[in-house]
Amino acid sequence: MQIYDNAIPRLNGRYFAHATSVGIQYKSSDEVINLLAGGSRRTIVLSPGGRAMLISWSLVVPSKNAEDLRLIRMWREAEEVLVGVDFMGSKLGISTRGFLQDPQLTGQVGQTFTFAISAVCEPKDFG
Amino acid sequence: MPEATAVHDLPPLTWLGVKLYASEIETSWSQRLAPRVFPYVDGEAHERTGRAALEVSATLHFLNTIEPGMYPRKFNEFLPLLLNGEGGTLGHPNIGKFNARNADGSYTITASTTAGVKLRVRWVESIKSADEPSKIVPSTSDVASTARRLDDAMEQLGRSYPDGMADSGATFESLVNDIALLGFTFSLQLSGAINQLRGNVNAIYNAEQLLCRAAQNLDDAARDAIAGDPLRWVIETSCDSMLAQLDEMEKSTVSGSRAVKTTTAGNDTSLAALSISLDADIADLINLNPSLCGKILIERGTLVKYFEAA
């Protein structure tokens, strides 16, 4: 029995089941404001700012198939993409739109060649 | 720790009675200092000629996270109170209430602040007497222009001023301006000054008449030159006009005189705030209470004289 869930990233309908890591990060630029209490009972209030969701994943690059590297072209052309993450156990998932960011290739002697990329998107709830 | 959070115990900033949510209130002022320089002496001395208007700048927040409905509803209700430029009462946390006007403001609708807007506003103190000039002002300006004509004509004809004026180096225009500075404050003092000026005008007029009579003994050419000199005509008509205008000024002064009352400041306040609460002209308050003029804060319990509202 599998205790912990497993998440698979998805991009324009294509699943990356071979992803070696997946991350989902919610980002904001909120500002904390101090108010003079003469005008309010509150002395601290949050001024919500822009919000975004960052989905990132990394892959190993097989020696005979480097098809995943085509994502770099989509990043270079700032192409809007449909991004999602699906949980295999709970069947919960996220589908949203966004743009690819920060593709990164890392290779080293004695280690697997990896390809990491992320997508910044409209924040969505799991459903 | 109330000492450490003292600013939170202050009353709120208000404009036209609307309580505002502020994160910062900056208050500034300046003194109108007339420099006095002395030859071969470094630096300068200063004569204080009054305080410039107080300026209050504030950062206001209209955020729905402070209170529901702050943006856009309450913001849209408040904005016209600034844009219309009308004067009104500004409630300052330290200084108290005083009459002010919105001088400028700005706000930015930005995607990085999604619950409302931050508004930067600046007010300037706007004294009541500037909004409602006293009625002595126009009549004084008429007398002043007549006095200036008389001074010019006398200078060009080389006439000398009566004894009292010649000693002090005063001109008719400077005497009229002195009267204007008195305003309605001390009606007896004002009447005295008007009478003194009237006496000086009569002295000039009589001197002109005597000169004409004396000229009857001169030869024809000299007599015609004096009689036909347009500047002599200016002197005589200016004297007539000034006497009539001084009569009008005195009448308006008597009808404008009011009873002086005394009150005690109930709390720490400002002269401007007192003028609003007592419905008294701030220039009158300054004249009646000269010792309070230089104070930013009128302390609680201070005795203040003011004119009863007409």
pLDDT by 10s per residue, chain B, length 310: 467 888 887 888 999 989 999 999 999 999 889 998 888 889 988 888 878 888 999 999 999 999 899 999 999 999 999 999 888 888 888 877 788 899 999 999 999 899 999 999 999 988 776 444 333 333 345 677 788 888 888 888 888 888 778 777 788 888 877 776 655 445 566 777 788 888 888 888 888 878 777 777 777 777 666 666 777 777 888 888 888 878 877 766 655 556 678 888 888 888 777 877 787 777 777 777 877 776 778 888 888 888 776 5
Write down the residue that tokens 């919000």 correspond to: A51
> How buried is residue B35: exposed, middle or buried, by Cβ count under 10 Å (0-12/13-18/19+)?
exposed
pTM, entire model: 0.54
Do residue B8 and residue A49 have CB atoms under 8 angstroms apart? Answer: no
Q: Residue A37: closest CA among chain B residues belongs to which residue?
A: B8
Interface of chain A toward chain B, CB-CB under 8 angstroms: 29, 31, 33-40, 42-43, 45-50
Using a CB-CB distance cutoff of 8 angstroms, which residues of chain A are in contact with residue B11?
38
> How close B82 comes to chain A (CA, Å)?
18
Of B50, B23, B19, give the one whose Cα is nearest residue B34: B50
Using a CB-CB distance cutoff of 8 angstroms, which residues of chain B are in contact with residue A36?
7-8, 10, 12-13, 22-23, 25, 93
Token code pair at residue B289: 């209470």
| Beta strand pairing call for A7-11 and A14-15 | antiparallel
Q: Which of B10, B66, B67 sits opposite A38 (nearest CB)?
A: B10
A116 secondary structure, DSSP code: E
Of B29, B26, B30, B23, give the one whose Cα is nearest residue B8: B23
Q: List the B13-15 sheet strands across, edge first.
A: B18-20, B13-15, B88-92, B96-107, B116-125, B55-63, B22-28
